[in-house]
Structure 1
């Protein structure tokens, strides 16, 4: 292979370095996307709790949109607790689902960051 006169590096070595940098950059972007997605899921669940506890109009388009997404994002936590007060039920079940999303997101981003550091 031809040497680069100014740096003394092989062209394939430069390509490897470029690939390594691209890998780290891509993994960093993916980690950020995972962090933002998980945070957005938790935030949407929290908004659902606020709308429900605040007696938002259930026929409003925003309330319907948030409720439909919250139902999907709750991942089975919707009926984990069954207290007599329906507002307390929403606070507990969707609140636990939001905390779950934050914990899973934190774990995933830590793992991805560790992988990114270890492949240096």
Structure 2
């Protein structure tokens, strides 16, 4: 029973971590791809991505706005994937 619960918890945490990274990557794709910033989908993704970027949002400040989003939000996505990996490892080890 315990291993089953640990498996479910690990799966849920895995999906959450992946979803956080995907939001950031979609924001990068929409921005670099030149999506209409007034579109409701673009605004929603941007609004979700902003707090997920944490301190990475302004880590690098190149003049090109698209490059800034690519680098900073891309690093934030990699950060969330690394956190996901560490959390999953910890949950499985404790379980």
Q: TM-score of the superposition, structure 2-length normalised?
A: 0.96
Structure 1's unaligned 5+ residue stretches are 1-20
Tell me how many residue pairs correspond in the alignment. Answer: 95
Over alpha carbons, which structure has the higher Rg? 1
Of 7, 20, 26, the residue aligned with 2:5 is 26
Q: Normalized against structure 1, the TM-score is what?
A: 0.77
Larger relative CO (CA 8 A, sep 6+): 1 or 2? 2
1:24-63 matches, cutoff 5 A: 24-63=3-42
Q: 4+ residue runs of structure 1 moved beyond 6 angstroms?
A: none
Cα RMSD for the two superposed structures: 0.8
1:38-117 alignment to 2 at 5 Å?
38-116=17-95
Unaligned ranges ≥5, structure 2: none
The structure whose residues are more often helix, as a share, is 2
